[in-house]
Amino acid sequence: MQDDPQKREIENRRNFSFRLNLFFFITFALFSLLIVRLAVLQFVEGPTLSAEGARKSTRDDAIPPIRGNIYDSTGYPIAYSTSTQSLYYSIQASSNIDKSIENAKEMAAKLAEVFAKYGDPDNAMTVDDVIRQMDLEFKLNYMSTPRRIKSGLTNEEIAYLMEHRNEFTGVDVMEESVRNYDKSSIAVQLVGYLKKYKGVRETVDFYQAKEEETDPTMKYLEEEEVGLDGLEYMYQDVLRGKNGLKSYPVNNKEQIIGPMQITNPEKGSDLYLTINKNVQLKTEQAIMDHLEVIRNSTNVYEKAPFAKTGFAVAMEVDTGKVVAMASMPDYDPNIWAGGSISTEDYHNIENVMSNGTIRTVYPQYDKKEDRDKHASSIVPPGSTMKPLSVLIGLNEGLFTTTDVYDDRGGAFYYGREGYQRKITNSQKHAYGMIDAAEAIEHSSNTFMAAMVGDRLYKRGDVGGKSSVDIWDSYMKQFGLGVSTESGLPGESRGVIEYFTEAERASSQSALVQASFGQQGRYTTLQLAQYTVMLANHGKRIKPQFVNEIKDAEGNVVQGYEPQVLNTVDFPEAYWKEIEQGMSKVAVKGFDDFPYSFNRKTGTSEQEAGGEIIENAVFIAYAPADKPKLAVAVIIPDGGYGAYGAAPIARKIFDAYDEEVGLTGVPKKAVKEDAAAGDTANTVAANADDSNADSENQ
């Protein structure tokens, strides 16, 4: 059957019409999609793309921020930053390393000539000085790392170097912020130090997080110096400030095509510390002077030939402000200038870099086996624990303020028959019938062992808590074995030993020894906080190091108030009992002290290297009736606390009284007023004499 031509024509027209309609439909859909996409680009993605385009047409170079300053409580600058022009040198790579070093030495000679002719004579550098800064032995830097040769360039030096830049290959002059520390080395371990950001960004968690920053004003720079310890690290975000920017218009070949625009860096905020410069320096000097005394003393009670380190904290009772924190010996933090130091310099200071008032610090010994024969900065409190032991005994109902203990034999025995251990008093003294206050006065180990440790053990569990747990609870309430909450990086909680002793020996042994300060090791800051609690009757106050923070214009950004961490509530009679004992403790160095004061000496024992060593410990607060300042001193290997530590505390009290005033009025102000009054009286007297002479004439 043949196809009908007419039908075929109709079918072809229908198919053509369908294809044509399909074509127009697809074309319409594509145009619709294009219009929608253009709308998205215009109204949704337009601002982002515009910013991206602007970014690609502008190159931003960051200007390092100027770090905020750190002042003492009187406004004296302890650490401060200055904006300066510094000269950097990059060692020129060569196939022959010896050739690179030879070229560097030739450049050192040329630079030394420029410094001598155009530089500040007080900032002079010899050829050897320049070579040392070049670090040609690669002790501090890789070959590709630019070396900072000199900071504080004069305008004449800069002008000459810029004019003859072709002659100084590898030399760059850069504007940067330089950190300066007071030459007196004021509380250096508390303040901390700086290192280059590039050296810590991969090793310190805090700085690893900064790698994610996208804000160009907050992004850390490779050569920027950042805090690595102490307050420099603790307040890094406050002190840092914000980057400035140098913005250059560029073409698609990254060539600069217009004038530069500068956004100045924003200076970081300033810290005003609670540390008083003069009290701090006198505390540091007192420790170093007394270490010399006890190492060379001929007095058997005072002599401590292995005492090499000392630690002290002075803390206000009502505010928690730390006015002095000394970890001695210390060092000059300016050795970190440039953000790094040599291996030799690091070896010389590594044992004094850490803050021994909050961490473990050992004296410097060449061999570890020698170091391990001596105590670290964290020691047992010894008899300074006894006021708290008495408070625990009273509060737990183990005895009353009128109960007495018969200390006729000067010894106490505990443990199973045939395995008994003996506790004796210092020098094997026997004190007869003594109450709790007298036990503190005479520092009776036997009273504490029998009336506190042994009785607490024999009473057994209370409310599901073991006797050792009860003891631990009191320790922690008084800040021993827990953080002081100071916020300082790396602060130790101390070392709790009574739980280990309970497992190894017995709970009785743990409590008996803990009662006179031999089952835990604590920091100087912990002992200072504990002493504040004794002085204010049970308020544990957070140690405070910063009075206020001010911005670059001097506006107060943040102030501080005393912060009570916890309180204990004891009857007033209990506090009076320990105060009665503490007021009568025999101590050296306070013979003419003009104030009443409460104190406790300690001679703590610990084993080190198979030997029993003795540490001098001392706590005190004054005035006794209206406590203003609490002081804690630790001298590892220092012997008796009365001889090895107490005289240092006396000098701290005197320094505070002179600068701040134990009664609220600085003694130096009183002296100045008196001197002014004497001067005025003298002038008046002379005037009267002159008038009298005139009348007689």
* Average pLDDT value for residue range 660-670: 90
Q: Are residues 73 and 216 in the same domain?
A: yes
Q: What is the pLDDT of residues 131-190, one digit of tens each?
A: 988 888 877 666 667 788 888 899 999 999 988 988 998 898 877 778 889 989 999 999
Residue 191 lies in a domain: yes
Give the pLDDT band (50/70/90) at residue 48.
low
Q: Which tokens in the block code for residue 496?
A: 């709790």
Q: Which domain holds residue 443?
A: 382-618
Give the mean pLDDT of 181-206.
91
Q: Are strands 261-263 and 77-89 parallel, antiparallel or unpaired?
A: unpaired
- Residue 422 pairs in a beta bridge with 413
Specify whether 260 is located in the same domain as 394.
no
How many helices (H) and strands (E) in the chain? Answer: 24, 25
Give the pLDDT score at 697.
44
User: Does 643 or 682 have the greater pLDDT score?
Assistant: 643
Q: What is the pLDDT of residues 611-630, one digit of tens each?
A: 899 999 999 999 999 999 99
Identify whether 648 is part of a domain: no
Instruction: State percent of the chain over pLDDT 70.
Output: 89
Which of 118-127, 314-323, 639-648 has the least mean pLDDT?
Answer: 118-127
What pLDDT was estimated at residue 1? 46
Q: Which of 273, 291, 313 marks a domain boundary?
A: 273
In a domain, 17, yes or no: no
Domain boundary among 273, 296, 314: 273
Q: For the segment 7-34, what is each residue's pLDDT rounded down to a tens digit?
A: 777 777 777 777 777 777 788 878 878 8
- Mean of the per-residue pLDDT values for the chain? 88
Q: How many CA atoms lie within 13 A of 228 on its CB side?
A: 19
Q: Is the pLDDT of residue 253 over 70?
A: no
**Does any domain span residue 422?**
yes
- Which residue, 570, 603, 618, sits at the end of a domain? 618
CATH of the domain at 560: 3.40.710.10
- pLDDT band of residue 255 (cuts 50, 70, 90) is low
Q: Are residues 405 and 257 in the same domain?
A: no
Average pLDDT over residues 183-207: 91
Within-domain flag for 631: no
The first and second tokens of residue 312, run together, are: 């002290």
d(CA 216, CA 60): 9
Kindly report, residue by residue over 66-104, the tens digit of the pLDDT: 899 999 999 999 999 887 788 889 888 777 888 888 989
> Which residues are CB-neighbours of 285 under 8 A, at least 6 positions away?
none
Beta strands in 352-456 (DSSP E): 405-407, 411-414, 421-424, 432-434
| Backbone φ, ψ for residue 133 (5° rounding) | -70, -25
Could you tell me if 67 and 216 lie in one domain?
yes
The phi, psi pair for 409, rounded to 5°, reads -90, -15
Average pLDDT over every residue of 293-301? 95
531-555 pLDDT, tens digit per residue, is 999 999 999 999 999 999 999 899 9
Q: Is there a domain that residue 294 lies in?
A: no
Beta strand 147-150 with 77-89 is antiparallel
Report the pLDDT value the prediction gives residue 500, as an integer from 0 to 100: 96
Domain count of the fold of the chain? 2
Total-model pTM: 0.82
Q: Is residue 505 in some structural domain?
A: yes
For helices 646-659 and 667-696, angle between their N-to-C axes, nearest 10 degrees: 50
Specify whether 111 is located in the same domain as 245: yes
pLDDT reported for residue 645? 98
Please say if the pLDDT value at position 369 is more than 70.
yes
One domain for residues 529 and 386:
yes
Read off the pLDDT band of 111 (50, 70, 90): very high
**pLDDT per residue as tens digits for the range 298-338:** 999 999 999 999 999 999 999 999 999 999 999 988 887 76
The CATH code of the domain that includes 153 is 3.90.1310.10
Domain membership flag for residue 143: yes
- Residue 549 sits in the same domain as residue 414: yes
Task: Indicate if 399 and 264 belong to the same structural domain.
Answer: no
Residues 424 and 565 in one domain: yes
